Amino acid sequence: MQRRQHRICKPTACHRVIATVALAMLSPCTVLAEPWPTRYDAPTAKYAEGSFAGGFAYQSRSYSILCSEKLSAGRVNEMATVAESVRGVLESFPLELMPSTNGARERAVIRIYPTQNDYLKSGGPAGSSGFFNARSREVMVSNEYLIEPKGHRSNLEPRQRYRLLVHELVHQAMAENAVLLPLWLSEGIAEYLSSAQFAPGRYRFNESARDIVNHLRTLWLHDRQNTITLPTIESLIQMDSRAWATDNRINKDNAYAKYAASLLLTHYQFELAARGRGGLAEFLAAMKADVGKFKSGRSRHYGRLAVDQSLLWKDRSPEIVQKQLADYWQSKGLKLTFALPSGAKPAK
């Protein structure tokens, strides 16, 4: 769960404290330009087995799954179905999450490494077990962590879900657009879809809060606690990849906290902040226009194109967003507290 590209956003208007913004925005919106998905069920993917210089190749319509060891038919079937589902589920949202496609594209590559050691030797970043390499555009995952151990979450996890694979495939599918996304939003969308997938290639969005709580319990909290400490929203929305990597390194035991905060903040943007009518749609459209400018060579510097995050927050300060998140998740059984991540500098 790491990414290399991004830039620092400088929140401006979102720092203004407007105390009158109330929880009214948390009420469900009734007017949507396009329907919000409640489910997405991908068909079972077909694939052909072949070989490449390094081992076995399994090719579905849009993906090549490569592994030095032979994988079982059932496993490949599930992984190909998961892979083929990701673009479809991203496209099912009334938001510009995906880059525009022009004609046929080459199959995207997923490299499966039999062991964690193989994964690390092949360039997987230390401390991770899955990675989207923005340079090669390939997803790399360790097979040891791809399969969630049975009984890990008892009867809450009756099906294999490939959460890690979904996370990395979302980065791969969004890569072209994601160069201008704030890191928290890129990681949050990857975790949001990972938490919504309840069986290979099948997603539901009508029970998100419950699914997110279960996701956090499976990956992070287990049965330890209901109180969780997250990085402050102000620090999270400014984190760049260097700060993210530093936190992964120095805050090993709780490195997932920033992914959890990114997930809750993405859920807030997707489901609580007036959905497609809110700032997210506007922000993504502005970002896409800037990606276009970058590609056409009108700007060679991402930083100069950074879309102002205040589009996302309107007049809500980070403190108000924290209060809204805390109130909402308290009602779902999670008590949130916020603290500066270790090593972070307090804002001036």
Query: By the criterion CB under 5 A, which residues form the site for Zn ion?
Result: 1, 187, 190
Shortest-Cβ-distance residue relative to Zn ion:
1
Complex with Zn ion: residue 5 or 214, whichever CB lies closer: 5
The CB-of-187 to Zn ion minimum distance in angstroms stands at: 5
Compare residues 96 and 187 and give the one whose CB is closer to Zn ion. Answer: 187
Supply the minimum distance, in Å, between the C-beta of residue 170 and Zn ion. 8
Buried b / exposed e across 66-87, counting CB within 10 Å, b at 16+? bbeeebeeebbbbbbbbbbbbb
Nearer to Zn ion, 77 or 177 (CB): 177
Token pair of 260, please? 């959890």
Q: Which is nearer to Zn ion, 187 or 290 (CB)?
A: 187
CA angle, corner 164, sides to 163 and 169, nearest 5?
A: 100
CA distances from 37 to 82, 204, 262, 321 (A): 18, 8, 21, 24
Query: Degrees (nearest 5) of the Cα angle 166, 77, 197?
Result: 30
CB of 128 to Zn ion, least distance (A): 9
Of 1 and 67, the one with the shorter C-beta distance to Zn ion is: 1
Q: How far is the CB of 310 from Zn ion (least distance, A)?
A: 24
Compute the least distance from the CB of residue 86 to Zn ion, in Å: 13
Which residue, 1 or 140, has its beta carbon nearer to Zn ion?
A: 1
Distance CA(322)–CA(259), nearest Å, equals 16
| Count of CB atoms situated within 10 Å of the CB of 292 | 12
CB of 190 to Zn ion, least distance (A): 5
Burial class (CB in 10 A: 0-12, 13-18, 19+), 36: middle
Nearer to Zn ion, 260 or 274 (CB): 260
User: Least separation, in Å, of the C-beta of 323 and Zn ion?
Assistant: 27
Cα–Cα distance measured from residue 132 to residue 170, given in angstroms and rounded to the nearest whole number: 9
Single-letter residue type at 248: N
Nearest Cα neighbor of 65 from 263, 39, 51 is 51
Please state at what angle helix 183-196 crosses helix 73-91, rounded to 10 degrees. Answer: 120
